[in-house]
Amino acid sequence: MTTPLLSIEDLTVALPGGGDRRHAISNVTLRLNRGEVLCIVGESGSGKSITASAVMGLLPGDQLKVTGGQIRFDGRNLLDLDENAMRRIRGDRIAMIFQEPMTSLNPVMTVGRQIEEVLETHDVPAAERPAKVLELARAVDLPDPEEIVKRYPFGLSGGQRQRVMIAMALALEPDILIADEPTTALDVTTQAQILDLIRNLQRARGMGVLFITHDFGVVADIADRVAVMQQGRLVEEGPIEQVLVRPSHPYTQKLIAAVPRFRTARPEAVPEGPLLRVKDLTKIYRSRRGFGAMRETRAVDAVSFEIARGETLGLVGESGSGKSTIGQCILRLASIDGGEVLFDGKNVGTLQGHDLLAYRGRAQMVFQDPFASLNPRHRVGRSIMAGPLAHGVPRAEAERRMNALLERVGLDAGAASRFPHEFSGGQRQRIGIARALAVQPDLLVADEAVSALDVSVQAQVLDLLREIRRELDLAMLFITHDLRVASQICDRVVVLHQGKIVEQGVVTDVFGHPEQPYTQSLIAAVPGRSWHGDQREPETSNI
Amino acid sequence: MNPSLRRFLTDPKAVIGLTILIVTLAAALLAPVLFPRDPWQMVSRPFLPPFQDARYWLGTDMLGRDILAGIAYGAQMSLIVGVASTAAALILGILVGAFAGYNGGWIDDALMRGTEFFQTIPTFVFALLMVAILAPSITSIIIAICVVSWPPVARLVRSEFATLRSREFVKAARVLGESNSRIIFTQILPNTLSPVIAMSSLMVASAILTEAAISFLGLGDPNRMSWGYMIGASRTVIRQAWWMSFFPGLVILLVVLALNLVGETLNDALNPRLSRKGRQ
């Protein structure tokens, strides 16, 4: 075997005192060979990003210190290099791309200029730079390169911005590309394109790629080898065929089992008589650009659907499809510009005063971000009781409900007197669910309720939602961008694209035999499809 | 103990600042006990230099009044004006800012244009003018300082409200059916207070300076001893009797410095981004 391109040996990074563990990562040993994609996969807090930052010498030195081990690259230990020597290696020999392409780019500089700046920093002669910038823009498949390099980052889509980041990373033809969750913030079809792009560039240039992700679907699509991390330790490492199909470590097995898959069993028939009817719902956003004419955007365009009690309807679509806006219109967080929302026969759009308050007691919401959706200065008990108290429920009864709900969502009674920051993301989401249920609603709108959670926690919260819907005979509107999650929990789905309904029907029909080309392209872009197929038919050639 | 409070109390800057403020407060409270005689009364020969007579060890002014007693009584004036005008400005600023930020739209526009109107007038000249019109007294000084110092509070609170009102926990409160006033006062306001508290200590400092300047120009409350008045009265004899203006000036400097130290460390201790970084 040849010497590896990069080898991390026994790397240990200490956490400052007072935390729940002493090391951010401990004794991690990894090799990256020329021309291969090594995926480091793990849940939040597993130390995967810290490993990547350590290689780049980007750890915040006052808080995270490397206390042991080596990072060998090109015959040298990167940890021994001073800042100047490290700077020459960064960008030139090892490049990095990040998760959030908007904040990684300078908003007041054209993208062409930003790519050029990388060349300038590493002493490429001025005369050669413009041609090189265009060549790079072409290499990352940016449309109309001559024109796009003159634009500013806000004029580009998320996928295009990530392409610009990749162009900057590739500018000096590095030996190693480190990609830290580069597609997590992108839509699924864009994600598929970026993964393709990284794969192609890696093959064409023979780079080694260190790819950090939490998504086993992405791993299945891009990796040659996989390293699984848990709480700062490397628990399993090996070729992709081995780790994904025959994982040996129990943690890997648990993670892989938790990855949501497309369901094949047809859901039970749904009772008749809708609780909520949405008819031709339209929402228009108006904006004015400079002194120009008013621009109208139809965020939601004549959307109609129904939900019955005891049924979960999924709203799926990419960003900008209007799915969250529909949820907000239904709950009167946004005004309705056309059509109507009928709840139990009453028009929600015109409710006022007492009627609106009564409706608020019957329709509730679970939010996406478990960190932003609880008031950081209110104890959990107070947050849960706020709803019942606003509806005139006596304090003793509100307290009784709160205790019962905390127990129902799997938290101990002591949780009531603690603050939100003392809980993990999954626990906070449970608190959010308890808060919504405290007013005893009939309709629950879950807006990306599990999208911010780790995959194993995601499965638990989905189970909880499913059980609660059954126990309380709720009508549930489940809004998500993740088709696999939708397939897990929904009975019927509505596929949205740019504010319009593309397709709707029973979940297994829509995802199993999509009729519309847009739905087909969405499903084709779901990461790790070949591998999901694997679970049923063990022999596939794709991996 | 609350971690921000602990961070605050273990910072040497905060300890220095708090010590100076506590001494000043004690001087203000104990002035009638320590100096039972009226600070306007003549107690010794005029132009007594400091550190000569153990009874009047900061010396006396041109009318033989005790400088130390003047400083202690002046502390009352400064602290009352500083705290009262800041409290009034905070109440006004928070109400305007919260209402504008929470509602947005034309209400926001109207209130903010009103706020900007007050900001376009040079603050000190405006305050001076108001005291002159209202007749010099401690109440009119407090009102004048309040009127010129609430706009920054309103703008700060408004911008905090404008970002917080679209946060998910506020949406959740709306969906749960909480009333607007409840959302403003129990959900959003507690989350905006950290920067406001930090700002208020600097406002007290600038109120003390403004009061001193007003009194220096002779528009102070004629019945109350004030640091600004002491400096103003002695400016003509500064060559012969430096101590008459030096000691009140030094006290103003120390108190304003202390308030700035406290404000700065409060800001550090209450800033959640910094505190999180420190803990991890």
Whether B39 is covered by a domain: the verdict is: no
| Domain span holding position B178 | 60-279
pLDDT confidence of residue A290: 60
**Residue B66's beta-bridge partner residues?**
B60
Any idea what the CATH number is for the domain that residue B75 is in? Answer: 1.10.3720.10
Distance CA(A290)–CA(A294), nearest Å, equals 10
| Interface-testing mutation among B4, B7, B168, with chain A (most A C-beta atoms within 10 A) | B168
Shortest alpha-carbon distance between residue B240 and chain A (Å): 56
**A21: amino acid identity, one letter:** R
Q: Which of helix, strand or coil describes residue A529?
A: helix
pLDDT confidence of residue B57: 85
**Residue A480's beta-bridge partner residues?**
A316
Residue pair A365/A474 in contact (Cβ under 8 Å)? The answer is no
Query: Which residue among B177, B187, B190 sits closest to A361, beta carbon to beta carbon?
Result: B177
Which residue reads 């192609």 in tokens? A200
Query: Which residue among A333, A435, A439 sits closest to B171, beta carbon to beta carbon?
Result: A333
**Contacting residues of A for B271, CB less than 8 Å apart:** none
Distances (CA, A) of A175 to A51, A92, A372: 18, 8, 40
**Residue B26's beta-bridge partner residues?**
none
Q: Which of helix, strand or coil describes residue A140?
A: coil
pLDDT per position as a tens digit, B188-227:
999 898 889 889 999 999 999 999 999 999 998 888 999 9
Which residue reads 């339209």 in tokens? A282
Whether B77 is covered by a domain: the verdict is: yes
Which residue reads 């035999």 in tokens? A513
| Interface-testing mutation among A375, A380, A479, with chain B (most B C-beta atoms within 10 A) | A375
Shortest alpha-carbon distance between residue B99 and chain A (Å): 19
- Model confidence band, residue B278 (pLDDT cutoffs 50, 70, 90): very low
User: CA B207, B212, B216, B219 torsion: positive or negative?
Assistant: positive
3-state secondary structure chain B: CCHHHHHHHCCHHHHHHHHHHHHHHHHHHHHHHHCCCCCCCCCCCCCCCCCCCHHHCCCECCCCCEHHHHHHHHHHHHHHHHHHHHHHHHHHHHHHHHHHHHHCHHHHHHHHHHHHHHHHCCHHHHHHHHHHHHCCCHHHHHHHHHHHHHHHHHHHHHHHHHHHCCCHHHHHHHHCCCCHHHHHHHHHHHHHHHHHHHHHHHHHHHHHHHHHHHHHCCCCCCCCCCHHHHHHHHHHHCCCCHHHHHHHHHHHHHHHHHHHHHHHHHHHHHCHHHHHHHHC
Contact B172 A367 (CB under 8 A): yes
User: CA A431, A480, A214, A543 torsion: positive or negative?
Assistant: positive
A4 Cβ contact partners less than 8 Å away, ≥ 6 residues apart: A31, A32, A33
Residue pair A509/A486 in contact (Cβ under 8 Å)? The answer is no
Cα-to-chain-centroid distance, residue B77: 12
Residues in chain A: 543
pLDDT confidence of residue A536: 41
B237 Cβ contact partners less than 8 Å away, ≥ 6 residues apart: B47, B62, B244
pLDDT confidence of residue A428: 92
Residue B130 has pLDDT above 90, yes or no: yes
pTM: 0.82
3-state secondary structure A453-500: CCHHHHHHHHHHHHHHHHHHCCEEEEEECCHHHHHHHCCEEEEEECCE
Residue B187 structure tokens: 């959900």
A498 Cβ contact partners less than 8 Å away, ≥ 6 residues apart: A301, A320, A321, A322
Instruction: Give chain A's contact residues with B (Cβ, < 8 Å).
Output: 15-16, 18-19, 63, 331, 333, 356-357, 360-361, 363-365, 367-369, 372-378, 383, 386-387, 390-391, 432, 435-436, 439
Contact B178 A390 (CB under 8 A): yes
Residue pair B20/B258 in contact (Cβ under 8 Å)? The answer is yes
Q: Which of helix, strand or coil describes residue A355?
A: helix
Contact B176 A387 (CB under 8 A): yes
pLDDT confidence of residue A430: 92
**Contacting residues of B for A21, CB less than 8 Å apart:** none
Whether B273 is covered by a domain: the verdict is: yes
pLDDT confidence of residue A442: 94
Shortest alpha-carbon distance between residue B277 and chain A (Å): 8
- Model confidence band, residue B107 (pLDDT cutoffs 50, 70, 90): very high
Sheet containing strand A338-343, strands side by side? A294-308, A274-288, A338-343, A346-347
B169 touches chain A (CB under 8 A): yes
Residue pair A325/A299 in contact (Cβ under 8 Å)? The answer is yes
B51 touches chain A (CB under 8 A): no
A204 burial type by CB count under 10 A (0-12 exposed, 13-18 middle, 19+ buried): exposed
pLDDT tens, residue order, chain A (543 aa): 567 889 998 999 888 766 667 888 888 999 998 889 999 998 888 888 888 888 888 887 777 888 888 898 888 888 888 888 888 888 788 998 887 766 778 888 899 999 898 888 888 888 889 999 998 998 888 888 888 888 888 888 888 888 898 888 888 888 999 999 888 888 888 889 889 999 988 998 889 999 999 888 899 989 999 999 998 899 999 999 899 888 999 999 988 888 888 887 788 776 677 899 999 999 998 876 666 667 788 889 999 999 999 899 999 998 888 899 999 999 999 889 989 999 998 999 888 889 999 999 999 999 988 888 999 889 999 999 999 999 999 999 999 999 999 999 989 888 899 999 888 888 999 999 999 999 999 999 999 998 888 888 898 999 999 999 999 999 999 999 999 999 999 999 999 998 999 999 999 999 989 999 999 999 988 888 777 654 443 333 343
Find the residue in B nearest to A23 (Cα).
B280
Residues in chain B: 280
Distances (CA, A) of A410 to A405, A407, A426, A429, A463: 8, 5, 11, 11, 12
pLDDT confidence of residue A270: 67
pLDDT per position as a tens digit, B28-39:
999 999 888 888
B182 touches chain A (CB under 8 A): yes
Size of interface A-B (CB pairs under 8 A): 64
Residue B201 structure tokens: 């200590």
pLDDT per position as a tens digit, B145-179:
999 999 999 999 999 999 999 888 999 999 998 99
Shortest alpha-carbon distance between residue B107 and chain A (Å): 19
pLDDT confidence of residue A2: 65
Is the ipTM here above 0.90? Answer: no
User: What are the boundaries of each domain within chain A?
Assistant: 100-173
Distance CA(A184)–CA(A217), nearest Å, equals 12
What domain count does chain B have?
1
- Model confidence band, residue B277 (pLDDT cutoffs 50, 70, 90): very low
Strands (E), A337-402: 338-343, 346-347, 363-366
**Residue A235's beta-bridge partner residues?**
none
